[in-house]
Structure 1
Amino acid sequence: MKCFFRKYLVIGIAFITFFGCNTQSGKKESVLNYVDTRVGTAASIADITVTEVEEPMGYVSPIVGNPSALTHWTPQTAVFTKRVITVPVPYWYDQEAIQGFRGTRYPNGAVVGDWGAMCVMPMTGEVKIGAEDRASKFSHNTEVAKPHYYAVQLDDYNIKAEFTAAAKTAFFQFTFPESNQSSILIDGVFVPGNYKVIPERNEIEGYSVIAGHFKNHFVAKFDKKFEVYNVDVLPNVVDANLVPEGFEAKYYNNDKLEGKPDVLVNYSELNYNWLKEPAKGVKADFFSVEYTGIFVARHTGEHRFELTTKDGTRMYINDEMVIDQWMYRATGTNTHKVHLIKGQKYEIRIEYYDGSSTTEMQLRCAEPVKLDPSHGPKMALKGADGNAVYVTFATKDQEKVKMKVATSLIDIAQARANMEEEFPEFDFNKAVTKSAAVWEKELNMIQVEGTEDDKAIFYTALTKCFVNPRNLNEGGRYFSPFDYKVHEGEMYTDLSIWDTFRSLHPLWVILKPQETTDIINGMLNAYKEGGWIPKWPNPWYRSIMMGTHSDAVIADAYVKGIKGFDTDLAFEAMLKNANVKGNRGFSGRVGIDYFNDIGYVPTDIFGFYGEPVARTLEFSYDDYCIAQMAKALGKDDQHDEFMKRSKRYVNVLDKETGLVRGKKLNGEWLAPYDKSISVWAQGTDHDTEVYYKNHTLLVPHDVPGLAEFMGGNEKLEAYLDEFFDNDMYYVGDEFSMHAPYLYNFIGTPWKTQKVVRDMLFKYFFNDVGGLPGNDDCGQVSSWYVFGAMGFYPACPGDPIYQICSPVLDKVSLNVGEGKTFTVIAKNNSRENMYIQSATLNGKPYSKCTLDHKDLVAGGELVFEMGAEPNKNWGI
């Protein structure tokens, strides 16, 4: 596979050369030559330790757009893909057809939702609305996948599609064949939209509604006139005309329709969006409902039902299941066609379960009535709700049609302003060059020397570190997902903080200190507007994952010198995380009242899916971070208090098994290796053991305490040896990403050097299967970037990095103010993985740690490498 992949990469290099970004007289070669954004779009080619409930997939797409763009763009091969976990990842390498080019806000590499998406598709001949119907075959041989540019040949239509993108605007160039019926279609991917065609300006404008509470606005502008246009108008909502007695809703305060219903409600139609609970007495999250009604057909013939929901749903007609989408986070519209007879009655039953965040339920029906063919075009001029909108024109052979699409969460006028700011002209080549320059600047913040393969892996990983979080700023303003108002200032979302606090945010502290300040100010704006610092915003609060690791992000930044935010407000918000139960749709630290009362989160209160042991471990670590923030602020009493709280992890460490273990409210342990401890502990007995072994190490803030539990440093060393020798470490998930660096803490740093170096070569490749697991908004990629450079932030909240064995021969980091920190590995090779000696700024250096203050001061850290460990260095 790798040989073929490198062949495809040549196409990208040729493109960069064409646009003048490659080596020229007196100019440095473009680092973009090394990047292919398809890395991670196929299953890992490595032998990965992974449980049955996960899959070693990067879950990334070939994203195009500026770093932290409001909207990224990518080819779409699927709306949803049914794999081990069903997720709306736009692009999968193993699929053979492209359905269009999606403006996406899917957090790259994560397992959450896409929101406010839209899709653009060129075609010839008859216009096909459905994503699968219109999809075109393509070959990976014709793809170019760079962070600033994507190109592919759509074989079924003989159209070459190219696009670039900035932060809020995409620029497409479609090269059409000769055709009297060439078209470009726009749809809302998961939900319908409202579309208006303005032919005198060669424009389409519109919006789609995001969870019923705000809108994704867009303006599409063409350089070619069109005379034919249409909106595929939505069918009517099923109301009292079709269901005279309405719908009865039975709500259950569980997500499985179990037991007796807790609340009964009657609706005249199913056309609702709920931000919190759907009815009084119903839980805001993880509820289920059954809707039933009698449909009376007004016509004989084919009826098309359209059911738009979030999360899992099933639909039955006369007890026959006709739609089956019983999946978490399955936002979208499902259709079913059925022949009905006029005057007959049909029982409709819809089952739905809600996971977390908002709820949507809409049922429409297209009756077998012949429509006036002029209706769609007339409605297009007025503006109408529809499944899609399209424009059609004649093209000559090899005619290039250009199209710009600007987006905004504020309004249509702001979308126009965004387009004018980013791509005011219809010059595609100029737009590509402009976008390439943005990424050149980003990636050149770190300059490296090494093998060509290592540079390709490194720069592709570094690219993924800058896709998210998502910057919502539009001209100094932002639309807040937390109070649905427009404010001045900063706001970021799609922060996978449970993952990214570990190394992605620490990388930004070094490379992007000002933007780190902006992100923290965005968190504090969310706190002011919604009542809490978000822990996984997508784009609003999501009640997923365990700890409140914004505590770690803020503390780590502050102790490393990041200023420019209200520290008193930040500390207030952190204390609220640590002491107050969640509300207003935000779960916060679930079980915090028990944690503060008895010192752990009990398993019989918070069982399966509740992750009670993980919560105890993570709350302890977050309290450690709060203690560091308190210390830096001179709050000595609170420092002492939270340092004591940070030791509560010991309450779920079990001497009998030598591992973490669930504990009930009465202090009784669960059975050893009880699978109900976590969803991730399911599967085989080996899967369960892997979970327990990884999770036991989730104590980055108190390695001496963990070693004491194990029986001393030698016992912890033996645990780690067995752990790594038997491939129990799962690099593709975050529970114990710091684990390889624990050897540094216990006097055996040469083992950290070997384990990290071995893993980087074993799991990461310049290949579509080159990521060992979900990238989670750049966390797995940033883990690689740090390891390849030779140091890692094993405990964010401490201004210290653990030294490992650099893969690259030379790394130069731009640390700001014109300063550079350089790491040089002399005599470096695959075999020479061990540090023999080191100097820092010309002086002998014998520590296996690096202080942040030394890094940002600039300087030079030089290692002499060798094939045998020097067991006297670094201890």
Structure 2
Amino acid sequence: MLSALKRLHDMRCCFRKSDIVLACLLVCFGCKQQSEEVVQSESANPLPRKAYLGYVDTRVGTAPSIADITVTEVEEPLGYVSPIVGNPSALTHWTPQTAKWTDRVITVPVPYWYDQKKIQGFRGTRYPNGAVVGDWGPMSLMPLTGEVKIDADERASSFSHATEIAKPHYYSVKLDDYDIKAEFTAASKTGFFQFTFPESESSSVVFDGVYVPGYYKVIPERNEIEGYTVIAGHFKNHFVAKFDKKFEAYNVDMLPNVVDADLVPDGFKAAYYNNDKLEGEPDVFVTYSKLNYNWLKAPAEGVEDDFFSAVYTGTLVARHSGEHTFELTTKDGTRMYINDEMVIDQWMYRATGTNIHKMNLIKGQKYNIRIEYYDGSSTTEMHLRCAEPVRPDPDLGPKMALKGADGNAVYITFATKDQEKVKMKVGTSLIDLEQARANMEEEFSDFDFNEAVAKGSDVWEKELNRIQVEGADDDKAIFYTALTKCFVNPRNLNEGGRYFSPFDFEVHEGEMYTDLSIWDTFRSLHPLWVILKPQETTDVINGMLNAYKQGGWLPKWPNPWYRSIMMGTHADAVITDAYIKGIRGFDTELAFEAMLKNATEKGNRGFSGRVGIEYFNEIGYVPTDIFGFYGEPVARTLEFSYDDYCIAQMAKALGKDDHHDDFTQRSKRYINVLDKETGLVRGKKRNGEWLPPLDKSISVWAQGTDHDTEVYYKNHTLLVPHDIPGLADFMGGEEKLVDYLDEFFEKDMYYVGDEFSMHAPYMYNSLGTPWKTQKVVRDMLAKYFFDDVGGLPGNDDCGQVSSWYVFGAMGFYPALPGTPTYEICSPIFNKVQISVGKGKVFTVTANNNSKENAYIQSATLNGEPYNSSQLFHNAIMEGGELTFEMGPEPNKEWGNQR
């Protein structure tokens, strides 16, 4: 069935390797053919440089998985990635935009979906690739001919995937409706575009803020546009766009007026509830003359900072008859009613967005307006505007474009000859406009587009050459595309030694990273960086500590500020794992202080921290009757226990023996939510009473069918990576836990995209059956990952799923971050060479390797017999060679030494 699905998919998508290679040869300047010719060597990397970009297609994961995925009804096996372009960890990436929002099982602002038929523009995005959160401070631009269309849907052009080239440093596509070829490359803060226009008296480029209005100014004598959009009312995404062609016309699409006392003479009455469901009686009442606010925290005294709701009511008196256009800009959920009829329905957790409603009003008549709103976490926005049916001054837009004005969009227009190439650079900055201009000039000092593409190619070839593999071409395509995704996030906010902090809204010197999906990425993405990018790992940790100093807490899912989502405080794991493996260059005492705060104090200042920590510390678990549905109390108990294990390891490394002993004991508290009756995790009330077995209220992810619920419980029960012997004792011994795992995998209850149990295939190593790890991992790599747009088995989560693949394909995996060890599996490649710094290379060689020969028969490490299924970090970083002899049957005598 799976192979049939893949063949069917292959027939409808132009995704064959030969097509990609041909496209690279003809168009993609910096890309080399797939022959991997040696192009140069570097002193920093002793391996001779090879060309790997020909294997990469960044569209992998932009369509639903073609594999048979175990997933609950409330999830979809989607990668949530886009074909983004830009340097690793770029401040701003660029990508084609097929949608502002997409209604899937989860409504998300992912810019690009493979199955959508039109391109709305090209987005400067900060959407964390593969995640399900917000795109903060994006902008979009679109070339077109003929009548200028501002609305993204109206201006969208059809296109064919056959004309796309999607690489991490270069994207190209033909916009069929306008006969425009669009190409772009990007560095860290600047996008560089080349548009090949047809002959036209009216060729234009439109800029907008995607979800929000912006400020725009045209400087025709410099061929420039500058402007910014406001991010949550507290800082700005600045940009400067510079063309190599003179403007012949320009305009700002002006904003409607804010609805104020001229339209609503008695103002808006607000009723606030200290819950996010409009439940019970209001707690606070306020009257506003208009709704045009950005609130960093609470909108009024007595209202909670986060997770509140509100109803705003007012009476509008129309001053004109005719069509009125209402624009409602909010963050998170909103509904708008006019005369009790719902006209806007966006009742969902979301990033800032603008919704539009048009209707005819009659002069002098009264209209009751009601806006319902709920706030999730972080900041709050509420803006209501209305365009009345008054003929606009046609000269106002161009005049205001020169002066600078707020608007929905700005555009410039010029005549073009057939096949004329127009080039444009767009520098971005969170600091100010001059920094955006400086970033642009530093990264692309001229308009040599081909050279810019070659420069981006060089950057990415250097990244991919950190690991060189030998094996089948299909496997290389999957591997190097996955490795590309491992270097996209976290996002580096450094601009010339400075950064704008999303935690105190000030400019500082030093390091700052955001879009860290730490709940996911602590498991293998950060451990991969420890090996490949030790210096940048230090920078990331220093960024975390700067967040702690400026915001009071280590970040756990910054996007770009604190987001109170997911469980645990796994910065504890990231820092501990790095330190245990030799990463230095950060303040360890400050780091330990911050980790202790996570483990002992409730969150504040809009940061949730470890929700339920006071109960975890009082009674040893997070109770379900206090933190119920969506509260994930059982998962929190398990993850707090693991975090405490990491703190214990950090304490031991720092010589803090009392803390080590204390947190080692705390790490055993997971046992309090393991139930002997069911043999699984189970919710427990504060009084010690268990919830019913397989109770669905344990989590939103446990919804759906009864089988879905059982899958959730089975996966979660394994979330004890730090104490497998203790879990085995609970099960009744190692053999019982092996039986549990056997049934778990045989009945296909493992969801590879679910981080809770990503370490599960490697648990066999700790239970004396390493050949089972070898078999299970090898099978999963083949079953779930493909060189196909549907080739990812779930949310990539900022590179976590991709890094899980990268480690497994190489033959070892960091199953327990916080310790200097890796679990050995069965490498799919005949040879893997890893540049580990200081001129050293660690090599994994698999002799007699094939799909059939998936079992390790014997091994040597640097020529000496090696009989352990565990590999130590020092062995990797010192360089050397781990050699496996492979065979078709398991050797049950190998790998049992620990």
1:45-67 CA distance string (max 9 Å, x none): 00000011110000000010000
Bigger mean CA deviation after superposition, 339-348 or 284-293: 284-293
Displacement of 1:21 after TM fit? 3.3
Displacement of 1:5 after TM fit? 1.5
1:121-159 CA distance string (max 9 Å, x none): 000000000010000000000000000000000000000
Correspondent of 1:160 among 177, 181, 190: 181
SS at match of 2:756: coil
Distance in 2 separating the partners of 1:511 and 1:415: 30
**Gap regions ≥5 residues in structure 2:** 1-8, 40-48
Residue 502 of structure 2 corresponds to which residue in structure 1? 481
Pairing 1:5–2:15 present: yes
Distance in 2 separating the partners of 1:17 and 1:737: 37
Within-5 A mapping of 1:42-53: 42-53=63-74
Displacement of 1:283 after TM fit? 1.7
Bigger mean CA deviation after superposition, 151-160 or 676-685: 676-685
Distance in 2 separating the partners of 1:24 and 1:394: 43
SS at match of 1:538: coil
Distance in 1 separating the partners of 2:795 and 2:29: 34
Correspondent of 1:805 among 826, 833, 838: 826
Q: TM-score, normalised by structure 2?
A: 0.97
Pairing 1:196–2:217 present: yes
SS at match of 1:5: coil
SS at match of 1:680: helix
Residue 678 of structure 2 corresponds to which residue in structure 1? 657
Displacement of 1:757 after TM fit? 0.3
Pairing 1:379–2:400 present: yes
Residue 211 of structure 1 corresponds to which residue in structure 2? 232
Kindly provide the amino acid, as one letter, of the partner of residue 2 in structure 1: D
Pairing 1:282–2:313 present: no
SS at match of 1:646: helix
Within-5 A mapping of 1:683-762: 683-762=704-783
Residue 575 of structure 1 corresponds to which residue in structure 2? 596
Residue 119 of structure 1 corresponds to which residue in structure 2? 140
Pairing 1:69–2:93 present: no
Within-5 A mapping of 1:15-164: 15=26, 18-19=29-30, 21-22=32-33, 27=39, 29-164=50-185
Evaluate the alpha carbon distance shift between residue 18 and residue 574 of structure 1 in structure 2; reply closer, same or farther with a 3 A threshold: closer
Residue 829 of structure 1 corresponds to which residue in structure 2? 850
Kindly provide the amino acid, as one letter, of the partner of residue 622 in structure 1: D
Residue 591 of structure 1 corresponds to which residue in structure 2? 612
Displacement of 1:26 after TM fit? 5.8
Question: Does the 8 A contact of 1:11 with 1:143 survive in 2?
Answer: no
Displacement of 1:2 after TM fit? 3.0
Within-5 A mapping of 1:332-371: 332-371=353-392
Kindly provide the amino acid, as one letter, of the partner of residue 5 in structure 1: F
Question: Does the 8 A contact of 1:16 with 1:33 survive in 2?
Answer: no
1:205-263 CA distance string (max 9 Å, x none): 00000000000000000000002000001010000100001111111122221221121
Question: Does the 8 A contact of 2:632 with 2:699 survive in 1?
Answer: yes
Evaluate the alpha carbon distance shift between residue 252 and residue 713 of structure 1 in structure 2; reply closer, same or farther with a 3 A threshold: same
SS at match of 1:295: strand
Pairing 1:542–2:563 present: yes
Residue 388 of structure 1 corresponds to which residue in structure 2? 409
Distance in 2 separating the partners of 1:650 and 1:463: 39
Distance in 1 separating the partners of 2:143 and 2:62: 24
Question: Does the 8 A contact of 1:163 with 1:173 survive in 2?
Answer: yes
Displacement of 1:200 after TM fit? 0.3
Residue 428 of structure 1 corresponds to which residue in structure 2? 449
Displacement of 1:358 after TM fit? 1.2
Pairing 1:14–2:35 present: no
Distance in 2 separating the partners of 1:802 and 1:407: 42
Kindly provide the amino acid, as one letter, of the partner of residue 396 in structure 2: H
SS at match of 1:718: helix
Kindly provide the amino acid, as one letter, of the partner of residue 125 in structure 2: T
Displacement of 1:276 after TM fit? 1.1
Within-5 A mapping of 1:446-845: 446-845=467-866
Distance in 2 separating the partners of 1:15 and 1:693: 51
Pairing 1:246–2:287 present: no
Question: Does the 8 A contact of 2:330 with 2:353 survive in 1?
Answer: yes
Question: Does the 8 A contact of 1:249 with 1:292 survive in 2?
Answer: yes
Residue 4 of structure 2 corresponds to which residue in structure 1? none
Question: Does the 8 A contact of 1:8 with 1:140 survive in 2?
Answer: no
Q: How many residues align?
A: 875
Evaluate the alpha carbon distance shift between residue 435 and residue 462 of structure 1 in structure 2; reply closer, same or farther with a 3 A threshold: same
Evaluate the alpha carbon distance shift between residue 47 and residue 385 of structure 1 in structure 2; reply closer, same or farther with a 3 A threshold: same
Distance in 2 separating the partners of 1:221 and 1:749: 59
Pairing 1:329–2:337 present: no
Question: Does the 8 A contact of 1:630 with 1:636 survive in 2?
Answer: yes
**Gap regions ≥5 residues in structure 1:** none
1:159-208 CA distance string (max 9 Å, x none): 00000000000000000000000000100001000000000000000000
Distance in 2 separating the partners of 1:423 and 1:12: 25
Displacement of 1:274 after TM fit? 1.2
SS at match of 1:543: coil
Kindly provide the amino acid, as one letter, of the partner of residue 730 in structure 1: Y
Residue 200 of structure 2 corresponds to which residue in structure 1? 179
Give the % identical residues: 81
Displacement of 1:357 after TM fit? 1.4
Distance in 2 separating the partners of 1:189 and 1:262: 35
Kindly provide the amino acid, as one letter, of the partner of residue 828 in structure 1: N
SS at match of 1:692: helix
Question: Does the 8 A contact of 2:316 with 2:368 survive in 1?
Answer: yes
Question: Does the 8 A contact of 1:837 with 1:873 survive in 2?
Answer: yes
Within-5 A mapping of 1:297-336: 297-336=318-357
Displacement of 1:12 after TM fit? 3.7
Displacement of 1:29 after TM fit? 5.0
SS at match of 1:647: helix
Distance in 2 separating the partners of 1:269 and 1:58: 41
Kindly provide the amino acid, as one letter, of the partner of residue 9 in structure 1: I
